[in-house]
Amino acid sequence: MPRPDGQAPRVLVLGATGYIGGRLVPRLLRGGYRVRVLVRSNRRVTALPWASDVEVVMGDAGDPRAMDRAMADVDVVYHLVHSMTSGSGFAATDRAIAQNVARHADVHGVGRIVYLGGLHPEGAPLSAHLASRKEVGEILLASGVPTLVLRAGVVIGSGSASFEMVRHLTDVLPYMPAPKWVRNEIQPIAVRDVLHYLLAAARVDPAVTRALDIGGPDVLRYGQMMNGYALEAGLPQRGIAALPVLTPRLASLWVGLVTPVPRQIARPLVESLQHPCIMRDHEIDAIIPPPPAGLTGYLESVRLALARIEIDQVETSWVDATVARAPSDPLPSDPSWAGRTVFTDGRSRRTTADRDAVWAVITQIGGTNGWYSAPALWAVRGWLDRVSGGVGLQRGRRTRARLSVGDAIDLWRVEALEPGRLLRLRAEMWTPGSAWLELAVDDAATGSEYRQRAVFFPRGLTGRLYWLAMLPFHGLIFSGMVSRIVSTAEKGANEPKGATGAG
């Protein structure tokens, strides 16, 4: 609905680069809204396809000055920020952000706040993360601003953490030990239906201020979800062993080792299964009717997610979320290294392949393609990282064919991308220091020159010892990468047109 001045409503999205926010923004734009996003760094948002169509405000959601700028002349606020990976202080962080949002939305006369919370039972002790989401919803509802809290359970869609957990557990394990409460009932919802409710929430009558449950049409146990996935993926049915000794902490460690979802994210997901999480009522239907074609069933949700993965069209992924302990600063430029301890491993090689051929190989790195050298050593490094609570190698990459700034690639995240010339990766694995890996290519008189550089800023004596201990492995890994990347590029350049190559 246009504003009295004839302009389209302005919407502020908090959490625009996350899994849900990254899908909501383009749909808001297609719906005719003017969209503003609040982000801490524009490096990620500028790489997104809709970046030029939104207004970007730089700042932190917990900063009153940033929120004051972001809230000016806003009609609707979508609060999609959850501190899943920020450590033990997440509840205080989420509380402070919610209070900041509530206060400034009231001051600026915002017409509607929409918050995506979590399904939870009433009167039962909640996990820390569910309790925090409940608290955030209550803070927003008490703001004096018309607020709609949509409480969703397990979200199923390509790239969602819940779906990836189900998918990898089922793919890897023919028989799965699980906590006894894995038999509790849950009500999954397709990501497309979550987006339907979020979009419609902006148009709800201002008189409506309340929390509403949303969910799909199916109520299932977790084992039924796994075997439903197995059915759609063409796998045998899986056995589930409910063990009374498997605590949430132990279960999250197990999930963290078997799936690409790190322990910081796996634990709140696992803890949310301790109680039945189903819709208590369907009052949402009187306020926001279901989609015209009906809500998406669980099996259809899985089918749609697998189809998106198969055609390499995963729109957003849980890996878009930042890992809390990753270095926050970009790689310093070379001149500023003076006076600092820094270790580098630089290598280069001339090749008859042209720059485009080498660049094509560079951008395919990671995920199912691997790292072009010593796969066993990379696997060991990934396993050690998972044991220490890190992201590990299983995280993969959002798509097989494309990269953009902010994308995760296994143990790394894309920090800089200059198409046809430079890919810089920042380490998100555990290291006693800050690490980067650069892969670059330049034109040469004949062919091109491939350049590769690992950079490490050690932290204390431990960091220095770590680098020295890794030197023998670097010799194998980094020299192998150079040779394989160049040879792969030359092979691709020499293939006749129309040849498809292996894999």
In terms of domains, do 192 and 293 share one? yes
In a domain, 155, yes or no: yes
Chosen domain end from 289, 320, 351: 320
In terms of domains, do 313 and 342 share one? no
Q: Are 111 and 76 in contact (CB under 8 A)?
A: yes
pLDDT value at residue 488? 94
Q: Is 432 helix (H, G, I), strand (E, B) or coil?
A: coil
pLDDT value at residue 499? 40
Q: Are 489 and 360 in contact (CB under 8 A)?
A: yes
In terms of domains, do 180 and 95 share one? yes
- Domain residues for 154? 10-320
pLDDT value at residue 266? 77
List the beta strands (DSSP E) in 354-432. 408-409, 412-418, 422-427
SS (H, E, C) 241-290: EEECCCCHHHHHHHHHHHCCCCHHHHHHHHHCCCCCECCCCCCHHHHCCC
In a domain, 475, yes or no: yes
Please name the residues in contact with 475: beta carbons below 8 A apart, sequence gap of 6 or more: none
In a domain, 502, yes or no: no
Integer CA distances (angstroms), 35 to 63, 112, 312, 362, in order: 20, 14, 27, 34
pLDDT value at residue 394? 77
CATH number of the domain where residue 138 is located: 3.40.50.720
Which amino acid, residue 306?
L
Structure tokens at 141: 């509802």
Q: What is the torsional sign of CA 424, 331, 477, 397?
A: negative
In terms of domains, do 136 and 74 share one? yes
Integer CA distances (angstroms), 356 to 363, 371, 439, 447, in order: 11, 19, 14, 10
In terms of domains, do 171 and 220 share one? yes
In terms of domains, do 279 and 398 share one? no
In terms of domains, do 345 and 303 share one? no
In terms of domains, do 401 and 439 share one? yes
In a domain, 5, yes or no: no
The pairing of beta strand 175-179 with beta strand 210-213: unpaired
Which amino acid, residue 247?
T
Q: How far apart are CA 258 and CA 246, in angstroms?
A: 15
pLDDT value at residue 501? 36
Q: How far apart are CA 99 and CA 37, in angstroms?
A: 18
Burial of 186-195, coded b for 16+ CB within 10 Å and e otherwise, reads bbbbbbbbbb
Please name the residues in contact with 313: beta carbons below 8 A apart, sequence gap of 6 or more: 158, 399
In a domain, 199, yes or no: yes
pLDDT value at residue 325? 43
Q: Are 56 and 35 in contact (CB under 8 A)?
A: no
In a domain, 398, yes or no: yes
Please name the residues in contact with 179: beta carbons below 8 A apart, sequence gap of 6 or more: 242, 243, 246, 247, 248, 251, 270, 273, 274
Q: How far apart are CA 394 and CA 151, in angstroms?
A: 30
Q: Is 427 helix (H, G, I), strand (E, B) or coil?
A: strand
In terms of domains, do 388 and 447 share one? yes
In a domain, 237, yes or no: yes
Q: How many domains does the chain divide into?
A: 2
In terms of domains, do 295 and 364 share one? no
pLDDT, one tens digit for every residue, the chain (503 residues): 678 787 899 999 999 988 999 999 999 999 999 999 999 877 778 878 899 999 999 999 999 999 999 999 999 999 999 876 555 678 899 999 999 999 999 999 999 999 999 998 888 888 888 899 999 999 999 999 999 999 999 999 998 888 988 888 888 888 877 777 778 889 999 999 999 999 999 999 999 999 999 999 999 998 899 899 999 999 999 888 877 766 767 777 777 777 777 777 777 777 777 778 899 999 999 999 999 999 999 999 999 999 998 887 888 887 766 544 444 456 666 655 666 778 899 999 999 999 999 999 999 999 888 999 988 888 888 888 877 777 777 788 888 878 888 888 999 999 889 999 999 999 988 888 889 999 999 999 889 999 999 999 888 888 889 999 999 899 899 999 999 999 999 998 666 554 433 33
pLDDT value at residue 88? 64
Which amino acid, residue 333?
S
Chosen domain end from 254, 287, 320: 320
pLDDT value at residue 324? 43
In terms of domains, do 246 and 395 share one? no
In terms of domains, do 230 and 284 share one? yes
Which amino acid, residue 441?
V
CATH number of the domain where residue 427 is located: 3.30.530.20
In a domain, 326, yes or no: no
Q: How far apart are CA 78 and CA 60, in angstroms?
A: 15
Chosen domain end from 320, 351, 378: 320
